[in-house]
Amino acid sequence: MPMWHKDHLRKVANMFREYADRIEAVANSNEMRAVDQTTAAQQLLLSLNSDLQRMTPTDPRERGEERGGYNHGFGRGYLNTNGFDELLARDDMND
């Protein structure tokens, strides 16, 4: 799931709440067998994953392109820095 923009935080929280309610409704259903309940819950999780992948704003960087290096100042080791300049140049990234 993307987490590079501040708007993603609230969107992800809302999506998790929505799907948690839907899964709970499936668990409380008296009309489904247990095996159908578990299958329905798995399908809801797959749907959640799909919704999270389509969440906006999307990352403007091209997939598969990598530009990186070792940045020991942050103690993270190797970092993929491709597209950082483009992301920081966007107006909606200013807080």
Q: Is the separation of the CB atoms in 92 and 57 below 8 Å?
A: yes
Q: Is the separation of the CB atoms in 59 and 48 below 8 Å?
A: no
- Going by the DSSP 8-state scheme, the letter that residue 59 receives in this structure is P
Higher pLDDT, 78 or 50: 50
CB atoms within 10 A of CB 43: 11
What's residue 11's pLDDT? 92
What's residue 79's pLDDT? 67
Say how far apart CA 56 and CA 45 lie, in whole Å: 19
For residue 56, is pLDDT > 60? Answer: yes
